[in-house]
Structure 1
Amino acid sequence: MARARLDVQGATCVITGAASGMGAEVARSLARRGARLALLDRNGEGLAALVADLNGTGHTTHVIDLADDAAVRALAGEIEAQHPEVRSLITCAGSSMLGNIDQLTMDEMRWLMDVNLWGTVNITQALLPALRRAQQAHITHLVSLYGLGAPAGRIPYAMSKFAVRGFSEALRHELEGTSVTVGAVYPAGVRTGIILHGRYAAALDPAVAQRAADAQAAMYRTEPTDAAERIVEATVRRRQRTMVGREARLVDVLTRVTPTRYWAAMRKPLREAIDTTTPIG
């Protein structure tokens, strides 16, 4: 069934992880389309720099830890008070974690789940009442190529992204027939620097971690501006599922054709990016 396009002109779009990377590029794209933005991040300085550079007026910035339940609930009320009609939520906040199962601690894995999964769930649940009050609204969750296929050496990241995928799909089914639609975007490597600025297991040799991060970053081909346009277009068109980048489309097909053997095809191109054990020199 065809869905009416989401009119973002003059309406409010909430973006998490907006201070840098994909979140900042999505904000720029939406501002050019005339949207009013509520920009969320832990980095207040980054938010201030971004909002000073955006087209339009009426944008607001909100410094927030999305893992803080009480703060997120309070923030939802603040956004509703400042923005009379919230029509979209785009969750770009996230981080990465390098290390294999023998190198990672439970605390390190829980930290990434808090950032990538629970932060997404938290802000979505808090803003859902406001989104329901709009005549039409859309939620866009950024998942990942690694929410389609799970590589070795990225257990906490893959866990978190598969969980975001499951949350998005289940929420879409719960909201079926309402004015709120839900979509998931699966980017392949986007040149935002997330892997270079992410965390690695404390047990890792920093030089080894840097080598793996550099190898992963070298595989990224999609420019952030191009990915942002795809994300915004998916939001405006209220798409349920969007692949960004050739690799995402390939892995999507591969994991459906051979769900138990796809790693055989992924292993070789990722061998240097997942190597967190071979010593330097």
Structure 2
Amino acid sequence: MELAGKVAVVTGAASGIGRAIASALAARGCHLGLADLNEAGLAETAASLGSGVRISLHRLDVADRDAVAAFPAIVTATHGQVDILVNNAGVALGGRFEQVSEADFDWLIGINFHGVVAVTRAFLPHLQQRSEAQIVNLSNIFGIIAPPGQAAYAASKFAVRGFSEALRNELAMTDSPVGVTVVHPGGIKTAIANNARVPAHVDPEEERRQRTHFAAVLKMPPQQAGEIIVRGLAARRPRVLAGTDAKIVALIERLMPVRYWQLLTRLGLA
């Protein structure tokens, strides 16, 4: 897929992987509609991209159904078309299932999964009008394995994976011009772990250990992940594993789909 001259919408573009994806797309001449709740972060992303492509910035809560439904008309009024949709917006939530309140669980699912579905539903008719188009949905390595303490997050990322694969197969059956890429990043050094919501009654020492653990395993620079993802998008790959750790873990899960966690623990990868 030739990216120069295309128009891409990227959610969660104010920082981290979203900003890196925007940068990689802009470097290839792709015009951008960037969305996030963090308007200051969006402005920083836009400033980092330089000139040469058309950029519009949009404050958007992907969990707000009305705002999402109105969003495509706003983007097309500026750009005239949409060729690529990157569903990157997401949040994290620590704690074991019994520690996580129903409200917090629903909050995470509303953003990480229902947000992906709602934004996809809103933009799909516009993408269908293009000669070629691509949807890129960010799952996670926790959409392949499900570690303890990540019940809500893993549930959302497994859901993104299942939704993406079913949608891809449905679109292929109708000879749609729209392809679907699902991305499973490994340990990407972003602020998502530090910004994770933690239940109030989680032991502070347990919380400290978890944050220390994630600080140690989140190693790949977002810029590198963004390049991997955009190369996968351009190749219209159905699945992108971003990082050697993601590839190793995915292989272990394939070989040991039930007992992978025991092996990962013994290998010191958990």
User: What TM-score range do you get, normalising by the shorter chain?
Assistant: over 0.9
CA distance in 1, matches of 2:129, 2:249: 37
Contact 1:104 1:203 in 2 (8 A): no
Which residue of 1 is the match for residue 210 of structure 2?
Answer: 212
Secondary structure, aligned partner of 2:246: helix
Task: Write the letter of the residue equivalent to 2:132.
Answer: Q
Structure 1 segment 140-151 matched on structure 2, within 5 A:
140-151=136-147
Alignment of 1:98-113 (within 5 A): 98-113=94-109
Q: Does residue 47 in structure 1 map to residue 45 in structure 2?
A: no
SS at match of 1:86: coil
Q: TM-score, normalised by structure 1?
A: 0.91
- How far 1:206 moved relative to its partner? 3.8
Indicate the residue corresponding to 1:28 in structure 2: 23
Task: Report deviation, 1:208.
Answer: 2.9
User: Residues 147 and 165 of structure 1 are in contact (CA less than 8 Å); yes or no, is this contact kept in structure 2?
Assistant: yes
Identity of aligned residues (%): 39
The residue aligned with 1:76 is: 72
In structure 2, what is the Cα distance between the partners aligned to 1:209 and 1:242? 31
Amino acid of the structure 1 residue aligned with 2:169:
H
The CA deviation string for residues 97-134 of structure 1, in whole angstroms up to 9 with x for no partner, is 11012211111111110111011111111011111111
Q: CA RMSD of the aligned region, Å?
A: 1.3
Cα distance, 1:207 vs structure 2: 4.5
Q: 1:163 aligns with which of 159, 184, 201?
A: 159
Moved over 6 A (4+): none
Distance of 1:29 and 1:85 partners within structure 2: 20
- 1:202 counterpart residue number: 200
**Offset at 1:23?**
0.3
Aligned-pair CA distance for 1:270? 6.1
Q: TM-score, normalised by structure 2?
A: 0.95
Structure 1 residues 55-94: aligned runs within 5 Å: 55=50, 56-94=52-90
Question: Which residue matches 1:117?
Answer: 113
Question: Is the 1:26–1:232 Cα contact (8 Å) retained in structure 2?
Answer: yes
Unaligned runs of 5+ in 2: none
Tell me, what secondary structure is at the counterpart of 2:97? coil
Deviation at 1:258, TM superposition (A): 1.4
Residue pair 1:104, 1:202 contacting (<8 A) in 2 also = no
Aligned length, in residue pairs? 266
Distance 1:234 1:124 in 2: 19
Look up the SS of the partner of 1:53 in the other structure: helix
Q: Aligned equivalents of 2:230 and 2:97: distance in 1?
A: 36
Check conservation: 2:29, 2:53, Cα contact below 8 A.
Answer: no
Question: Pick from 160, 168, 171: which aligns with 1:172?
Answer: 168
Gaps of 5+ in 1: 1-5, 272-281
Contact 1:8 1:87 in 2 (8 A): no
In 2, Cα distance between equivalents of 1:228 and 1:53: 14
1:254 aligns with 2:252: yes
User: Shift of the alpha carbon at 1:257?
Assistant: 1.3
36-45 or 215-224, which deviates more = 215-224
